């Protein structure tokens, strides 16, 4: 699973009928590498124009290899962070 616009993780556990709720949650986003996923034109920085349309600058550009590397790193960090936050270890999990 690759995270889309942001990253998130949640720890879920079965609870008794009298105890229902979220054990913990974590969400985040990272826009520090815009060169890996961006739209060159068509936004407020470079509004759409005849030239940008002819140059196909209004389409999303993505460096899939770098996005994948970053997603794997963030997924690992997010998973460990939410486990720590909730007082669990990875060995406590049955399914990830």
Asked whether residue 1 is domain-assigned, the answer is no
Helix residue ranges per DSSP H, the chain: 50-54, 64-86
Asked whether residue 62 is domain-assigned, the answer is yes
pTM over the 0.85 mark: no
Domain limits for position 55: 7-92
Tens digit of each residue's pLDDT, the chain (96 residues): 454 556 666 777 777 777 767 788 888 877 888 889 889 999 888 999 999 999 999 998 999 899 889 888 888 898 899 999 989 999 988 887
Domain count, the chain: 1
Asked whether residue 31 is domain-assigned, the answer is yes
Asked whether residue 44 is domain-assigned, the answer is yes
Q: Count of CB atoms within 10 A of residue 7's CB?
A: 20
**Tokens encoding 48:** 């759409």
Asked whether residue 25 is domain-assigned, the answer is yes
Strand partners, 26: 9
């Amino acid at each position: 699973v690759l995270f889309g616009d942001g990253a998130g993780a949640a720890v879920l556990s079965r609870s008794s009928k009298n105890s229902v709720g979220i054990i913990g949650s974590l969400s985040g986003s990272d826009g520090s590498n815009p060169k890996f996923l961006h739209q060159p034109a068509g936004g407020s920085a470079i509004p759409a124009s005849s030239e940008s349309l002819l140059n196909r600058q209004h389409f999303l550009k993505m460096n899939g290899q770098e996005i994948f590397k970053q997603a794997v790193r963030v997924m690992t960090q997010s998973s460990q962070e939410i486990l720590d936050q909730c007082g669990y270890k990875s060995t406590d999990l049955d399914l990830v």
